[in-house]
Structure 1
Amino acid sequence: MRPLLTALTLSLLAGVAQAADVEGSADHPLIGRFGTAEISRYKQIDFDEALLPKAKIDDEGKLDDSNVLRLEGRITFINYRVPGQKSPLEVIRNYEKSIGAKGFEPLFACKGSDECGRSLNSMVFNSGKVVPNGFSGDAYFGEDSRYLLARRSAPEGDTYALLLAMPVTGGYTPVLVETVDIQAMAQDQVRVEDAATLKKDLAATGKVAVYGVHFDTSKTEIKAESHPALEQMAQLLKDDPALKVYIVGHTDNAGALDGNLNLSRRRAEAVAKALSSDFGIAAERLGAYGVASLAPAASNAEEAGRSLNRRVEIVLR
Structure 2
Amino acid sequence: MLTFRVVITGFLATVVSVAQAQMPANDTVKGGKDHPLLTRFAGAKLVGYEVKQFDEATLPAGKRVRIAGKLGFEKTLRLEGKYTRIAYVYPQDRSSLEVMRNYQAALEKAGMKSTFACAKETCGENFGDFVQQQRVGYNFIQGGEAATSPFNYGRNDNRYLLASGTRPDGSALTVAVYMVDPVQGKLGGVYLDIVEGKSMEGGKVSANLNAADMAKGIATDGKVAIYGVYFDTGKADVKPESAAALAEMATMLKQSPKLKVFVVGHTDNQGAVAQNLTLSQRRAESVVGALAGTYKIDAARLSPKGVAAYAPLASNRAEAGRQQNRRVELVEQ
TM-score by length of 1: 0.48
TM-score by length of 2: 0.46
